[in-house]
Structure 1
Amino acid sequence: MVDDAVPEDLKDAVGQLREAIQKLGNDEGSEAFGNPTYDKYGRTRLMGAANRLIAALQVGLSGDVLLAERFDKGIIRAFARVVGDLAFGDIWSESKAFEVAYEIELAINQQTSKLIRPDSVYRENPSRYKELLRIDHEAESAATGIKQEQHLLSQVARVDEIVNDVEQAAGVVADSELAKAFSDHERAEAESANRFRIGAIAILMGIVAFSTYTAIEIPATLGSSLAHVGIAFSGLAAFAYLSRESAQHRKVARWSAMMAVQLKTLSAFSAGLSEGQRENLRSQFGQRVFSEMPTSGVDTPSNGADFSPTIQAVVDILKSARAN
């Protein structure tokens, strides 16, 4: 409800300001305002400026003349419209709230400061002069406070950006170190796979050479044949084991190489994502890296199927050598 001590042509503007003040007060802590700390300061300053403007408009100067008559009424209506847009709008602008609050306080201070000069005629009315002086000091102090708060909050935002940059840089370094560890692991596993492969090939060649030599140089008897078959299959078992170990280490090496590549490209891939999306991606990737098993020691059916043609080929070679 608008007080009667307001010019008729400003009652709508004052009513609009009062509705905006009520809406801003009811919205305190609303999730729609994003950052609660920053929004609270912007909202409080805007409410204070609007309340002070209404109080200033109702101050009587002399007779029926109000301080409202000294204001540009178009500016008052513009203030009321902007404050209403901020209060009832879907998107809250903290910076605009501070800016509008500052302009309102500045406009009040500019009008009241003219009336409290040493030669002011209003000194003759102590109560009226005291009221003007109070509003002037409050508006001046509020304007100064708004600028200080804006500066402090901008510094806080800057510190948050620096912390975020440092955290991202630390994450990049950590990713790089982890990628290096995976690369080193990949090289070690590849070397182990090559050693087992060389061992398997050496055993296979030894079996073939031994079987060929005994088939040609040693007369075939039942006992010697059984001994040769036992030696051959013992060698083939060792060959199968070394081959399986080589395949296992090579599989781990491939997995480590893939992890290293993904870690090296993770930062570049997530650069365009929001902070929340980056954290979610990094969390999912970490769970995969530290919980995923690169190999399974129980997939022997596929390994056995891979080695069966090789074993059959060796058996055929032995049969051919015996026939000759």
Structure 2
Amino acid sequence: MSKKRTVYFMEVFQETAGGDAVALADGFWDQLASHLKGAQEEERSTFYRGNLLLGEARSDVKTLLDYIYLGRSRPEIDWPDVQDELGTVGALSDVPNIHGLLEPVYIAGIDGSNFAAFLRSSGGPTWSGIETWINEVTAVGVKGPFYKLRPLVKKDGLERLRESFGVSRVHIKVEPHALGAGSSAGAIGQAMEAVEEVSGDLSMELILSFGHATPDTMAAEELKGQLESFMANATFKKSSATLIVDQNGETKREQVDFLNDKVTSREVIDAPEGEEPSLNSALIALGSAIQKYRQGKL
């Protein structure tokens, strides 16, 4: 059975505790992979929200893809049962030599840049978990500067947002576990992070609108700034806005859908019904998305 999964394209960057950007040379993912190859298991792992995150650098001979594997432990209470050849059903935790189940994310750096393609399983590490793991295994320390991830986006929608007078309406939807550590920058991110504290399994949808009224200049500019801050850090399922723009000397409203500007690729993956895709099918999908990105097709 075939199913479609989304491959996300993200950029790693550095930021101080005060929110100031720090220059980061190209080649981060290659350097991280090299570091992981020489590290002991305890140097490649950390805990985030009670779950083990364990990473390693790998090379696949079939797809010729160099990638980073990062697994998130699944709590034992969520382990499935197993059935032996006689039909007897038992707990997977009772099977010898199985010490844990890991839900993966596959990360492939692109051409020595700081961009990478990400393919997550349904229970794989969250974006904020990935950021935490990167900072732990690279021994950033409590003072930073810290590594963060932000979605790779096309320029059209963001340029229209920056050039506008302000924003009169915002509609945002994020999937469970989609908020990264940097998402809390600004009021929109803080509001969504507060909701996520209730449960990480919640999807969230937020609409902010002045209605039919024309907002004053300061309010429209403030909402525009909050949206820019959120867009720079969060991975969203829906993000659209009504911009206040100048058209031939007149103030008009203009719709923009940022989802069309986010760089992703929907890839077909072969997997048995109800099961996660195999490693080989996941890597083929990841390689396919990267090839489309290189060819400018995304």
**TM-score with structure 1 setting the length:** 0.20
**TM-score with structure 2 setting the length:** 0.21
Please tell me whether Structure 1 or Structure 2 has the larger radius of gyration of its CA atoms: 1
